[in-house]
Every structure is written in C-alpha cells, then in structure tokens.
Amino acid sequence: MRFRDVEHLFRLAAIFLAGTLVFVVAKAEMRPKDFGKDGHYRPAAVDEIRARAISYAGQTACADCHSDVVDLRAQARHKAVACESCHGPLATHATAMSDGTEAAKPVRPDGRTLCVRCHAAKTGKPKRYPIVDIKEHAGDENCLSCHKPHDPRIS
Ligand code: HEC
Ligand code: HEC
Ligand code: HEC
Ligand code: HEC
C-alpha cells in the first residue's frame, strides 16, 4: 500500500542523476588542469601574478630622492598618507630616475579633485576623520590656494 505510486520518485531520481552527470562533465571540462595540486587554488596563478609589471614603487623609494618632501611631511598631518595614494602609481618614474633612463615627469595631482576624494563627507567615515562641506568651505576655489598638500594644516 505504502509504495503504490513510486514512479514519480524514479522520475525525480532521474532528474537528479542527469543533473549530477552534467555537473561532473562540466567540472571535468572547465576546471583548470592544475587546480588543487597544492591546495584549493590554481598554482599557475601565482606565476601569472608574479609576471605582471609592478606599478607602485613604495614609500621608501620616494624617500631616497625626495627627502625634502619627507622632511616636510614628518610633522604634518598627512605623514601617514602614502605618497602614491595621492600621486598614483609611480614605479616607472622611480626606476627610470635611478637608471637614468628617459621618462615623463610625473604630473602634479590636481588639488581640487584630489582633496575632495578623501575630505568630502561620506557615510561610514570614522568620527576623527577630518571632513569639510566642500561647497561651504571652498566654493569653487582650488584647495591648494590655501593648503599645502604635504603639510595641509594652516594654523
Ligand atoms: C631615483 C630618484 C627618484 C625616485 C626614486 C623618485 N623620484 Fe620623483 N623625481 C626625481 C627627479 C630627478 C625628478 C625631476 C624630474 C624632472 O624634472 O624631469 C622627479 C620628479 C617628481 C615629481 C614631479 C615634480 C614636479 O616638479 O612637478 C613628482 C610628483 C615626483 N617626482 C614624485 C615621486 C614619488 C611619489 C616617488 C615615489 C613613488 C618618486 N618621485 C620617486 C627623482 C626620483
Ligand atoms: C595628500 C596628497 C599628497 C601626498 C600624500 C603626497 N603628495 Fe606630493 N604633491 C601633492 C600635490 C597635490 C602636489 C602638487 C602641488 C602643486 O601643484 O603645487 C604635490 C607635489 C609634489 C612634488 C612636486 C614639488 C613639490 O615639492 O611641490 C613632489 C616632488 C612630490 N609631491 C613628492 C611627494 C612625495 C615623495 C611624497 C611622499 C613622501 C608625497 N609627494 C606625498 C599631493 C601629495
Ligand atoms: C588619501 C586620502 C587623502 C587625500 C587625497 C588628502 N587627504 Fe588630507 N588628510 C587625510 C587624512 C587621513 C588626514 C588625517 C590624518 C591624521 O589625523 O592622522 C588628513 C588631514 C588633513 C588636514 C588636517 C586636518 C586637521 O584637523 O588638522 C587637512 C587640512 C587636510 N588633510 C587637507 C587636505 C588637502 C588640502 C588635500 C589635497 C591636497 C588633502 N587633504 C588630500 C587624507 C587625505
Ligand atoms: C580660502 C582658503 C581655503 C580653501 C580654498 C580651502 N581651505 Fe580647507 N581650511 C582652511 C582653513 C583656514 C582651515 C582651518 C584651519 C587649519 O587648517 O588650520 C581649513 C581646514 C580644513 C580641514 C580640516 C577640517 C577639520 O575639521 O579639522 C580640511 C579637511 C580642509 N580644510 C580641506 C579642504 C579641502 C578639501 C579644500 C578644497 C575643496 C579646502 N580645504 C580649501 C582654508 C581653506
């Protein structure tokens, strides 16, 4: 009596089986060959990433040649902000300068767009993060007409 209409269970089982088959075949086809060799990742990815060109030089590289800026920043509120978070990635500039090869001079960041990126009010900013109402504080003026970027505090 209890197993009177079992056919629908077979149909359901067939669907599951077909699904499993599709999954197994697709996995075998699509999974990179070296996946899982050294753990749950693709070992070749490490070499691919290592082969990419480095775009950031790092703070210490800048300090080798621009010690004047480092000294200026030593006591300033921006000392914790890395050079390249404002200047952008400059690895090619740093290597070119130390190799003596030709390279374009880095463009100076535009004060207006740069400063607003960090100092405009946004939800989620910590309480101690200095923010200003851009329109009220500066109107359309460039931030650099009053603030020095490497030592931004005025008084
Ligand atoms: C090996 C020395 C060297 C290193 C390392 C180096 N610079 Fe320079 N940098 C120079 C020299 C020399 C100039 C002037 C180039 C010119 O006048 O054509 C310059 C120019 C600049 C300028 C443009 C200055 C201007 O007057 O407009 C900026 C900005 C700058 N560097 C930022 C950086 C940052 C940020 C780093 C670190 C990522 C860095 N540099 C690393 C030597 C270096
Ligand atoms: C808060 C953003 C910010 C940070 C951080 C910063 N800079 Fe600058 N820097 C600027 C801006 C903006 C200018 C352009 C100033 C101008 O146009 O008068 C500039 C100009 C320069 C110049 C051109 C000459 C000069 O002294 O004005 C050099 C060189 C330079 N920066 C190097 C550095 C180095 C090296 C560091 C890290 C030790 C650094 N900067 C960190 C924003 C920054
Ligand atoms: C990458 C983010 C970033 C950029 C870009 C940036 N700042 Fe800042 N600035 C900060 C942080 C973070 C602090 C607070 C540092 C601290 O208190 O340790 C700060 C501090 C300041 C202060 C000091 C506030 C005080 O109460 O003393 C002034 C003024 C200032 N910035 C102006 C500027 C100006 C002008 C520019 C554009 C040239 C600029 N900032 C670009 C992150 C940034
Ligand atoms: C007309 C001059 C002027 C201009 C232009 C200007 N500022 Fe200021 N800013 C000041 C003065 C004055 C103070 C307060 C005194 C100080 O920094 O010591 C100040 C303070 C700040 C502070 C610190 C606020 C705090 O709560 O601690 C930040 C951040 C700031 N300015 C960012 C900017 C940015 C970003 C721009 C460009 C959109 C800008 N300023 C343009 C004059 C100016």
Residue 154 is assigned to a structural domain of this protein: no
Nearest CA to ligand 4 atom 39: 143
Write the CA distances from 83 to 36, 74, 78, 90, 145, integer angstroms: 39, 13, 9, 9, 20
CA 139 to ligand 1 center in whole angstroms:
31
154 Cβ partners below 8 Å, 6+ apart? 146, 147
Are 107 and 128 found together in one domain?
yes
Give percent above pLDDT 90 in the chain: 85
pTM of the model: 0.87
Residue 105: count other Cβ atoms within 10 Å of its Cβ.
7
User: Interior CA angle at 57 toward 99 and 92, to 5°?
Assistant: 50
Give percent above pLDDT 70 in the chain: 99
Total domains in the fold of the chain = 2
CA 70 to ligand 2 center in whole angstroms:
10
Residue 153 is assigned to a structural domain of this protein: no
Is pLDDT larger for residue 20 or for residue 123?
Answer: 20
Are 106 and 125 found together in one domain?
yes
Q: What is the pLDDT of residue 69?
A: 96
Contact 86, 118 (CB under 8 A): no
Residue 99 is assigned to a structural domain of this protein: yes
Contact 111, 142 (CB under 8 A): yes
Are 81 and 137 found together in one domain?
yes
Q: Which amino acid is at 2?
A: R
* R_g over Cα of the chain: 29
CA 66 to ligand 2 center in whole angstroms:
10
What number is the average pLDDT over the span 50-71? 94
Domain end call among 51, 68, 86: 51
Are 16 and 83 found together in one domain?
no
Pocket perturbation via mutation, ligand 4, pick of 131, 134, 137 by most ligand atoms within 8 A of CB: 137
Q: What is the pLDDT of residue 1?
A: 59
Instruction: Please name which ligand lies nearest the alpha carbon of 103.
Output: 1
Instruction: Please name which ligand lies nearest the alpha carbon of 117.
Output: 3
What number is the average pLDDT over the span 118-132? 92
Band (pLDDT 50/70/90 cuts) for residue 155 is confident
Are 76 and 26 found together in one domain?
no
Are 117 and 95 found together in one domain?
yes
> By residue range, what is the domain housing residue 105?
59-145
Are 40 and 75 found together in one domain?
no
> What is the per-residue pLDDT across 65-116, written as a single tens digit (0 to 9) for each?
999 999 999 999 999 999 999 999 999 999 999 999 888 899 999 998 999 9
What number is the average pLDDT over the span 124-151? 94
CA 122 to ligand 2 center in whole angstroms:
24
Instruction: Please name which ligand lies nearest the alpha carbon of 119.
Output: 4
Compute the distance between CA of residue 86 and CA of residue 26 in angstroms, rounded to an integer.
Answer: 46
Band (pLDDT 50/70/90 cuts) for residue 18 is very high
Atom of ligand 2 nearest to the CA of 81: 5
Pick from 42, 41, 77, 79: which is nearest to 59 by CA?
79
Residue 150 is assigned to a structural domain of this protein: no
Q: What is the pLDDT of residue 13?
A: 96
What number is the average pLDDT over the span 133-150? 94
Are 105 and 47 found together in one domain?
no
Pick from 131, 62, 63: which is nearest to 91 by CA?
62
Are 93 and 34 found together in one domain?
no
Atom of ligand 1 nearest to the CA of 56: 38
